[in-house]
Chains A and B, each alone.
Chain A
Amino acid sequence: MIPATLRANFSYLLRHPLQLALALLGIGIGVAVIVAVDLANASARKAFLLSMDAITGEATHQVIGGPRGIDESVYVRLRVEHGIRDLAPIVEGAAVIDGASFTVMGVDLFAEQQLRSFTGQARTVGDDDAPGESLFRDFLTRPGTVTMSQATARQLGLQLGQDFELLANGRLHRATLIGLFGEDDDAGLQNLLVADIATAQVWLDSTGRLSRIDARIPDGDDAALSRLESALPDGHRVLTAAGRTRTTAEMSAAFMTNLAAMSLLALLVGLFLIYNSVSFSVLQRRALIGNLRALGVTRGRMFALILSEAAVVGAIASLFGVAIGILLGERLLLLVSQSINDLYFRLTVTDVTIEPWSLAKGVAAGIGASLAAAAVPAIEAMSFPPRLAMARSSLEGRAGRLLPRVALAGLGTMLVAVVVLLVSGRSLVAGLLAVFLLIFGFALCVPLAVRAASSLLAPVASRIGGMLARMAVAGIGQSLSRTGVAIVALAVAVSATIGVSVMVDSFRGSVDKWLQQTLQADVYAGVQRGALAPALLADITALDGVEAFSTSRRVQLEDAGGRTQLIAIRMAPGSYAGTEIIDSDPDAVWPRWEQEDVVLVSEPYAYQHAVAAGDVVQLPTDRGVRAFEIAAVYQSYDINASAMLMSRSVYDRHFDDAGVDSVGLYLQDDADPEAIMAQIGDRSEGRQEIRFNSNARIRELSLEIFDRTFIITDVLYWLAVGVAFIGILGAMLALQLERGRELAVLRAVGMTPSQLGTMITTQTAVIGLLSGIAAVPLGIMMAYVLIEVINRRAFGWQIDMAVAPDILVSAIAFAIGAALLAGIYPAWRAARSQPAAAMREE
């Protein structure tokens, strides 16, 4: 049986269902956001790893070459001359079918058997009983034949034997679906087409070349590894398959960490809510607690009672939050995978994987936050003397005396945050911890500021709106145990909107400025993945009206230390100004860059690798590893931020790759960009499908991708604002409940319902105003840390901070609006309450 002391306490909560519901909702939403982000992140990561595992199969290592891959003779030599078995050549690239992106994987079925099952075991037409038998024959004899997973075939609406078209390297090709992977092999193999290696080479314009050679080397067999390494020509490397997968996955790690931090913000706001709810229930029950203490309930038991109550509320809210989190996670996963696809790597993931660990973390966070938030009111409950029903005013008085100490603790916490920032080097997690300390510290200072503001504003309000306005404003400072926490919750949520908005706005401004500077050519044309056909390139650059042109080639250089994006550029005369040199004299840098073995590194690269002009980087070239001096650091907000620029002439000396990804056309003054683009369309028709756009359109498209990336941020902070909104609603309802008799007296002495409603509405508006004002300095501080610390540590970008006044004004207006909206119901309820009933209830 439940002890009577426990029942005495719990019955209070049950008799105040609205208050209980708001507390449950607040903490529930916080938990839901945490669970949703965790599930979305984990599902995205798991889908990626599953896919990589499935594709890698039994391969333990991968042999890679330069930007153009590996000459297939290398594979033949390894197998024939060096007698190395357990190797499988792979040609890999991207293809587009009906607007959706797929990976084409060209394989040698004879070599595949040692490494992968799904490639050679696909079920083919008329081969139901003996999978794989006719596959070899079809792959070898029928060009354009592919196999795929059953899910992919369903997605494309394809039947076995059916023909379809795919776009690869800008050209349309005819393909035939001849086989489906077994059901067991389907996992992780969505959006993958397997073709014979010769077919893939034709489609991807890499005849005679391989993307990599997969190898299986028994664990610990260093001799086999050495034999393989020593058999490779210059410019080729052996990397572990797991390491390559990890390197790719790590590209999105900072993005995911930032999302997790945003989700914690929602719980932090929920924490204020629980504190508010528990402390209110303790204040309301001061007589009951006093009586229980008089009847012999010890301080320790009273503390335990309040905490157990918070734990139960936290547990129920967490379970509810987990359920909502799973639903929310499915929606969030779409946004997360969209961003990862935009920014990092191709990811196909449609279903949330429900990880028990993610759910457990959510429940633990919910209960933990509830207990932490309830600890202070529980200590307060312990301190109630037996039988003494303390007057509310004396409780407020005690709380008021504590305010300076609380504010001092807040300042101390903020100081700790600064110290953490200063000593934590480049740690992103430490940076985020400092942000939370900053928010928490600031939050502790807010109540003291609110009391001061309330005292200062009350006389002003009196002059403007008379006694009622004065009561509304003075009441905020005099009921700080209620209003203070609500203001803090709203201020934290609004400050997050300011911080993130200023950060995004500044970031967008910097990116826009950079795009304007970088996009110097009038028209750009290129192939998304692959290279422009040389003849087409020559035709385009020879068009009438083209005065000059630049070309670029983006390649990934990979070694055991990770990947580096190298951009080989042939600058057009006068286009150098498009690249802003940060730390050196441009006039001295550019001549060297054109002639010598030097590179320019992007600012994020310089930050992440802690290098500067004059340092030397080792790059794996087709002639072996070579040293390149960093001539300068340049500004870049490229999505793949960590990059280096090499002059095309230097690139050609070190790499056997004549490919050009894109070309920038500088037009004569009288040339019409639209007419030039029309000509490009005509020239490329039937030869290669290429993309071409004016610089203005590219700028627009880039900013669209930028904006899409921050949709998820918007979603998360709106959820935090939702929690704060519930906080204000709860606080105002609690205040009305507690002031029931006072309000009844006001009604009795002649205050009309509309006057009472106006007074309460004024109070909520001022609460919103104070929250908004408090949010401004915190928001700007958050923006500063997000820009200067978090963004820098996560991505290496240097952003010019710009605080647009309209962001601040709209944040304050938003805070007032949210508070007013939350105040409507309490005001309506108070106004329609009958004074006689309120008197009787007392």
Chain B
Amino acid sequence: MTSTSEIQLRRLSKSFTEGRRRHRVLDDVSADFQRGETIAVRGRSGSGKSTLLNLIGAIDTPDEGRIIVGGVELTGLTERDRTLFRREHIGFVYQAFNLVPTLDVADNIRLVLELNGVPPRESQRRIRELLEAVGLADRAASYPDVLSGGEQQRVAIARAICHEPAVVIADEPTGNLDDSTAEGVLELLDSLVRERGGTMLIATHSARVAAVCDREIEIHGGKLDAPARAPESR
């Protein structure tokens, strides 16, 4: 089968051992996601949303099946190659923000740019632009622990897109935020990713979050119920 999809999942399975029991989280999952598409991944807690995102983000490996992202077959990569792939092509936004507490705002972004070998002058330019874009130009020298939740998530978004990755993985990005903050953060994330033509997968329980996505898939009993819904408007 040939496909031009940005992300191709073929018969993916993944299990975890819990105590003496083996729990199959994903069971023979296949799907295609197009370049520039924004997909909401829904499902109950423990349904396998994060696992699916970790597999696509090259953080984890499937027990069976294939994952192709941007034409690269991830399942055949070594640990080091998966790390280098992730570094270059994937951006992450987490529910718990996961900023490095020992680095200030600018350095949290600079870390990813430095890992990608972006020259210092160029890094500085991008950091400035991104912080302006997320409305934190005046907080560049602040450490994460003095920022509000919304501010921290905006830094995390800037960090996720600073190296212009092909795919952004967002795992419950608004889960720790109040409604109004969540709305702002979501809009920001959506607009910045779309501006750059990236593909984004968002794991969420929230119908409001799902509503801003191009389409929605749902994981239930390890299976993918897709496409559950194609949003009517975007």
Contacts and interface: CB of A to CB of B under 8 A. Distances in A.
Interface of A: 391-394, 397, 466-467, 470-471, 474-475, 478-479, 741-742, 745-753, 755, 834-836, 839-840, 842
Interface of B: 16, 50, 54, 57, 59-60, 79-80, 83-84, 86-88, 92, 94, 96, 98, 100-103, 107, 110-112, 114-116, 143-145, 159
Contact of B83 (A391, A474, A751, A836): A751
Nearest to A394: B145
A842 B16 CA distance: 15
- Smallest CB-CB A-B distances: 5 pairs: A750-B87, A393-B145, A836-B60, A745-B98, A478-B102
Contacts of A835: 59
Given A749-B86, A752-B84, A753-B83, A470 B107 contact: yes
30 contacts: A392-B101, A393-B143, A393-B144, A467-B110, A471-B102, A471-B103, A474-B102, A478-B102, A741-B96, A741-B98, A745-B98, A747-B59, A748-B59, A749-B112, A749-B115, A750-B86, A750-B87, A750-B112, A750-B115, A751-B83, A751-B115, A752-B80, A753-B79, A834-B59, A836-B54, A836-B60, A839-B59, A840-B16, A840-B50, A842-B96
A742 B145 CA distance: 14
B72 to A, nearest CB: 15
Contacts of A746: 100, 111
A751 B83 CA distance: 7
B64 to A, nearest CB: 16
Nearest to B114: A467
Given A391-B145, A393-B145, A750 B84 contact: yes
A696 B115 CA distance: 64
Given A478-B102, A742-B98, A836-B60, A750 B79 contact: no
A839 B115 contact: no
B92 A748 contact: yes
Given A470-B107, A749-B159, A752-B83, A742 B59 contact: no
A834 B94 CA distance: 17
B75 to A, nearest CB: 14
B84 A742 contact: no
A394 B143 CA distance: 12
B101 A749 contact: no
A45 B188 CA distance: 80
Nearest to B55: A836
Given A393-B101, A474-B102, A749 B92 contact: yes
A834 B116 contact: no
A745 B80 contact: no
Contacts of A394: 145
Contacts of A755: 115
Contacts of A392: 101
B94 A745 contact: yes
Contacts of B50: 839-840
A474 to B, nearest CB: 5
B97 to A, nearest CB: 9
A768 B116 CA distance: 30
Contacts of B111: 467, 471, 746, 749
A834 B55 CA distance: 12
B139 to A, nearest CB: 16
A836 B14 CA distance: 13
Contacts of A479: 102
Name, among B57, B80, B94, the residue most crowded by chain A CB atoms within 10 Å (CB to CB): B94
B201 to A, nearest CB: 15
Contacts of A742: 98, 100-101
Contacts of B145: 391, 393-394, 397
Nearest to B171: A839
Nearest to A832: B79
B46 to A, nearest CB: 11
A475 B100 CA distance: 10
B63 to A, nearest CB: 13
A466 B114 contact: yes
Contacts of B102: 471, 474-475, 478-479
A499 to B, nearest CB: 34
Interface centre among B92, B111, B112, B143 (most CB of A within 10 A): B111
Nearest to A756: B83
Contact of A750 (B83, B101, B110): B83
B98 A467 contact: no
A746 B16 CA distance: 23
A655 B42 CA distance: 108
Contacts of A474: 102-103
B80 A753 contact: yes
Contacts of B88: 750
A736 to B, nearest CB: 14
Contacts of B83: 747, 750-753
Contacts of A393: 101, 143-145
Contacts of A751: 83, 87, 115
Nearest to B115: A750
Given A839-B59, A840-B50, A842-B96, 14 more contacts: A393-B144, A393-B145, A467-B103, A474-B102, A475-B102, A741-B98, A746-B111, A748-B57, A749-B92, A749-B112, A750-B87, A750-B115, A753-B80, A836-B54
Contacts of B116: 750
A475 B96 CA distance: 20
Nearest to B88: A750
Nearest to B98: A745
Contacts of A749: 86-87, 92, 111-112, 115, 159
A740 B147 CA distance: 22
A301 B56 CA distance: 48
Contacts of B101: 392-393, 478, 742
A345 B186 CA distance: 85
Nearest to B146: A393
A390 to B, nearest CB: 11
Contacts of B100: 471, 742, 745-746
Residue of A479, A745, A750, A840 with highest tally of chain B CB at under 10 A? A750
A653 B222 CA distance: 110
A747 B79 CA distance: 11
B59 A836 contact: yes
Contacts of B107: 467, 470
A764 to B, nearest CB: 16
Contacts of A470: 103, 107
B159 A839 contact: no
Contacts of B115: 749-751, 755
B173 to A, nearest CB: 14
A392 B96 CA distance: 14
A749 B89 CA distance: 10
Contacts of B87: 749-751
A352 to B, nearest CB: 49
B131 to A, nearest CB: 17
The listed residue with most A CB atoms (<10 A of its CB), out of B96, B102, B145, B159, is B102
Contacts of B159: 749
Contacts of A478: 101-102
B45 to A, nearest CB: 13
Contacts of B110: 467
A470 to B, nearest CB: 7
Q: Which of A397, A467, A753, A755 has the most CB of B within 10 A?
A: A467
Contacts of A839: 50, 54, 59
Contacts of B143: 393
A784 B128 CA distance: 55
B24 to A, nearest CB: 15
Nearest to B94: A745
Contacts of A752: 80, 83-84
A141 B229 CA distance: 122
B52 to A, nearest CB: 12
Contacts of A471: 100, 102-103, 111
B79 to A, nearest CB: 7
A835 to B, nearest CB: 5
